[in-house]
Structure 1
Amino acid sequence: MTQQGARWTADQVLALAPDVASRKAGSKLGTAGPWSEAGSSDEGTVWGLCKGSGSKPYQTVVDIAGAAGPAYKCSCPSRKFPCKHALGLLLLWAGGDGAVATVPADQAPQWAGQWLAGRRERVSRKAERAAGAADGGADPQAARRRAERRAERITAGATELEQRLTDLLRGGLAAAEQAGYGLWEETAARMVDAQAPGLAARVRELGAIPSSGPGWPVRLLEECALLHLLDEGWLRRERLPLDLAATVRSRVGLPGSADGPPVRDRWLVLARYDTADAKLTTRRTWLHGTGCDRTVLLLSYGAAGRAPEPALPVGLCLEAEVAAYAGAGQPRVALGEQFAPPAPTRARPPGVTTAQAAARYGRALRDDPWLESVPVTLSEVIPVPAGDSWQLADAGSDHALPLTAAARSRPGLWRLVALSGGAPVTVFGECGHRGFTPLTAWPHGEGAAVTLC
């Protein structure tokens, strides 16, 4: 990526945009008109001055070789990361038409060089602090006592939840419709008090099911059964296999650790998307190891409206180590040492048929009954309408997977339809009991990845 012959595509740059408005505004600034003194270095820095409404141009600099993905600095007042000026500068650089000059790193303007030096010093200090903590800076006895106290609270909460589920079933599911959402919110608050956020989240999901449409009693009973299974798993966790016990701990909300052996590979960035609530933004980044043929998940969080890191653009490939979290069949990993910055690639993950994707999800449920979906790449599929819905149909058979309701409401569906034009495409997404959610697609033959989320 730091070599000027290996530039990102416009789609990879726009995948960094925090929202649709930033994507549109950044696209307008991706031409040479508003920019002056734009340059880049082989060390992975891009800078430039962008004319704004004031008398002084905005100073914009991007570190595209950051270990956690791109980092940005702009003198504009925007609180979005990246701002429209950083997006526009990257689009100008990605165009490769000479508008961004290539110069030695020591010839970068002083304001850009100072920021970059300060950033890399901060990254180095952070790594040193993390290494010190890993060497045993915390008191292990105190940590053990805290873990025991929390386990006791979760056990009390799970026992109380079992009693509430029993009362619900004895009184009949119709009572849940009459009680309204307040019953579930109060129960969820009790689980929060018990320090079991995973149980609390599942209880809140139960509250949205009554009166949600035809068949809601069946859906409520199914979800209550899964919640009961999780409760019983926690209360009898000492009898479970180690991997399944780790999965139960993760599902109730206990933090895990990435203590699996590090795996070094070239990891293709398959998809990235954020979900947010009032307190937290969660970023999911799917990676595929081109050597180990594994698809893994990076989870990161940002508080108070801040975008999480890393911000790895879809379609790039990075050589790095990852370490797996404990749990039966869990795809989550932690990103370790990176040996080269992300760079464009023509690699694609191998695909399967729709029938094989459904079977893969079924097998995964044996290890994790609470699993919502699994990552799957479908090869040679065509998006086709199916009544009021859409599905992805195999080009060579009668099998198909329906799209989820969330996928049908996104603009990405129409990008997928336009990309296909009736021809087979390769699609990566999440396959679960509600259907398939497409996240990234590649056209038939050659072509860059197109994000759909």
Structure 2
Amino acid sequence: MLRNNGEQHPAPREQGVRWTVDQVLALAPDAASRKAGSRLGSPGPWSETGCGGGSGAVWGLCGGSGSKPYRTVVDTAGVAYRCSCPSRKFPCKHALGLLLLWAAEAHEVRETETPPEWAGEWLRTRQQQGARQQQTREPSGGPGPVAASAVDPEGARRRAERRAERVTAGATELEQRLADLLRGGLSTAEQAGYDLWEETAARMIDAQAPGLAGRVRELGAIPASGPGWPVRLLEECALLHLLDRAWLDRELLPEPLAATVRSRIGLPTAPAGPALRDHWLVLSQYDTFDGKLTTRRIWLYGRRTGRTAQLLDFGAAGRPPGTALPTGLTLDAELTAYPGAGQLRAALGERFGIPAQSGGPPPGTTVGGALAAYGRALSDDPWLTGRPVTLGSVIPVPDAGDGVGWQLVDTDGQSALPVAPDAPSRSGLWRLTALSGGEPVTVFGECGHRGFTPLTAWQPGSSDAVPLHR
């Protein structure tokens, strides 16, 4: 997948268009950074600012509490950041402030051919690293380094077999526990409390099946979660049982579905197949946090192929993931898909040039079309929680307090999608409403069994993407 020190194309690149304020703020790792960065988005604290240099970079010195100003440089093609401040956040408030100043097209940030030496040294190091990474790729353009071929295949096969045996033992034990739960009645789940589920999840971790462990933990949060919880618990138990049985009978499955099962269980997979080059529109970027790991999901749309793909990146120990792609930009790049039936995950390979403005949203569909697409996706992956879709012309209707909740209504007024309860914050939904002003808008998001999660919106006739998930 894309790394923070992403590969560089060796040819000279022209300076890309400047980002919008929304695109910059969408990169902030949290609300505090967004607020602090906004305060630094004015010329006051900055000196020796510039951009370009044939590298798509922005740089500047920011005065702070120390005797020396902080040196800040951003590679807008990467996307990556470097700042001499002690912050462990990426991007830090200085990088955000510099990007905001650049996005405002302030005359203080002038384009120039040569960056200062401290910025140029870092940019050259990134280019050299990218060149070395490209040289270690397989001649066919595959995702793995040539050195991978030197790994002992027999040893790798034995390790995979031992892990499969442990996963099988864990799945067999989990089947027994699910049977005991149903035999005793779902009401016992509420009485047992969360400790039973956590102990079962720990057993799945011991079996090296993190996917099963995560689903067990989700089961533990359902009892006593509100009206109708027994139905929800039964549904999730059925899906977990289906995944168990799919693993235990995986030899009977077609290979694409078997690959999906391995991925859902939590076994590591690698991208496979030929690289696909296209102009990829960044539809959305957002983070989720499970208490230990931050997961960043980036949705892309290929202008030429019409393909939708997802990039995943992870950050541990409170650190945000290194990958950052501003919503609404388009990058000329190669993607390599991961195996699996209906899987959209891909790895980002070589990029060509600097990201440019998007040129507008992808083609949209209706509410009925979104539901049909989600239904087809479930036939490939029954454990899917959401499918990316662009609604071409809908009107957001706020919660009227009648128990219906927020909705996205087709322009004919005959069909509507409920907004998922775990959708973006209410501020994001009201931002969508303000953008609409009662008129139809184009909305990209994820359509799932709990409703639609809006992530990005476009006004009619506008090419500017407005992120809704912050």
Task: Identify the TM-score tier after normalising by the shorter chain.
Answer: over 0.9
Q: Percent identity?
A: 67
- 2:168 match: 155
- One of 84, 94, 101 as aligned partner of 1:92: 101
| Unmatched tracts of structure 2, length 5 or more | 1-11, 139-144
Structure 1 residues 13 and 275 mapped into 2: Cα distance closer, same or farther (>3 Å)?
Answer: same
Residue 120 of structure 1 and its aligned partner are, at CA, apart by: 2.7
TM-score by length of 1: 0.95
- 1:396 match: 412
SS in 2 for 1:227: helix
- One of 226, 231, 239 as aligned partner of 1:226: 239
Whether 2:432 is the aligned partner of 1:425: answer no
Separation of aligned partners in 2, 1:330 and 1:425:
28
TM-score by length of 2: 0.92
- 2:31 match: 20
Separation of aligned partners in 1, 2:424 and 2:289:
20
Separation of aligned partners in 1, 2:417 and 2:263:
29
Residue 125 of structure 1 and its aligned partner are, at CA, apart by: 3.8
Q: Which runs of 4+ in 1 moved over 6 A?
A: none
- One of 224, 248, 272 as aligned partner of 2:261: 248
Whether 2:270 is the aligned partner of 1:296: answer no
Residue 217 of structure 1 and its aligned partner are, at CA, apart by: 1.1
Separation of aligned partners in 2, 1:431 and 1:197:
25
Residue 77 of structure 1 and its aligned partner are, at CA, apart by: 2.0
Residue 410 of structure 1 and its aligned partner are, at CA, apart by: 4.1
Listed as ranges, the matches of 1:35-434 within 5 Å are 35-40=46-51, 41-66=53-78, 70-105=79-114, 108-128=115-135, 132-133=145-146, 135-388=148-401, 389-407=405-423, 409-434=425-450
Q: Could you tell me which amino acid in structure 1 is paired with residue 129 of structure 2?
A: R
Separation of aligned partners in 2, 1:283 and 1:433:
21
SS in 1 for 2:346: strand
Residue 101 of structure 1 and its aligned partner are, at CA, apart by: 1.8
| Unmatched tracts of structure 1, length 5 or more | none
Query: What is the number of equivalent residue pairs in this alignment?
Result: 448
Whether 2:2 is the aligned partner of 1:10: answer no
Residue 118 of structure 1 and its aligned partner are, at CA, apart by: 2.5
Cα pair 1:268 1:347 within 8 Å, conserved = no
SS in 1 for 2:311: strand
SS in 2 for 1:223: helix
- 2:8 match: none
Residue 354 of structure 1 and its aligned partner are, at CA, apart by: 0.9
Residue 127 of structure 1 and its aligned partner are, at CA, apart by: 4.6
Structure 1 residues 321 and 329 mapped into 2: Cα distance closer, same or farther (>3 Å)?
Answer: same
SS in 2 for 1:407: coil
Cα pair 2:292 2:318 within 8 Å, conserved = yes
SS in 2 for 1:43: coil
Separation of aligned partners in 2, 1:257 and 1:139:
17
Separation of aligned partners in 2, 1:277 and 1:3:
40
Please list the CA deviations of residues 209-264 of structure 1 after superposition, one character each: whole Å capped at 9, or x if unmatched.
Answer: 11111111111111111111111100000001111111111111111121022211
Separation of aligned partners in 1, 2:16 and 2:223:
57
Q: Could you tell me which amino acid in structure 2 is paired with residue 412 of structure 1?
A: G
Separation of aligned partners in 2, 1:348 and 1:408:
20
Separation of aligned partners in 2, 1:87 and 1:260:
37
Structure 1 residues 2 and 35 mapped into 2: Cα distance closer, same or farther (>3 Å)?
Answer: farther
